[in-house]
Every structure is written in C-alpha cells, then in structure tokens.
Amino acid sequence: MIRELDTVVLTHDIDVYGLKQGDIGAVVHCYRDGAAFEVEFVTAEGRTIVLLTLNRADIRPIGGREVLHVRELAQVAA
C-alpha cells in the first residue's frame, strides 16, 4: 500500500520531464480511490523537477535493500 509521504520509484521513463525508470519521488497526495497519486520529483538540492499525477502502474514502493544512485538531470525543453 502506498501512502502520503512514502518514497516511491518510477517504473518507466517520462522523457518530457527528463525522468528515468528508477528515479525516486515522494508521494504528496493519495487520491481516495488509491488508483492515483501526486508525486514530487526533486533534485539532490531539493529543487522540484516536476509534480505529476501518476497511477499505480507508474510507481512502486522503494525496497529496503535497494541502492540509491545519482545521475545528472538532462536538459529538457521548457
């Protein structure tokens, strides 16, 4: 079950925002039906990249034995 403030992992690339499968976001809102979530993706400095409405298939909970990885955000068209 995914709840507000959970850390989640993106399950696929979202090229328009420069997001890649495996990027980590924070759930800032769960819709009542549990099928959609507002997820914020930020840089390491805390700057918001994007806040997206995603469905359950777009994200998954982060696992306790997963290793985090850092990458530079690609330039995206404004």
Token pair for 8: 């989640």
Token pair for 11: 């399950």
> Is residue 74 in some structural domain?
no
> Is residue 41 in some structural domain?
yes
> Is residue 28 in some structural domain?
yes
Range of the domain at 44: 7-61
> Is residue 73 in some structural domain?
no
pTM over 0.85: yes
> Is residue 66 in some structural domain?
no
Judge contact between 11 and 60, C-beta under 8 A: yes
What pLDDT tens digit does each residue of the chain (78 aa) get?
999 999 999 999 999 999 999 999 999 999 988 889 999 999 999 999 999 999 999 999 999 999 999 999 987 655
> What count of other Cβ atoms lies within 10 Å of the Cβ of residue 1?
6
Q: Which residues 6+ apart lie within 8 Å of 77 measured at CB?
A: 16
> Is residue 34 in some structural domain?
yes
Question: Structural domain tally of the chain?
Answer: 1
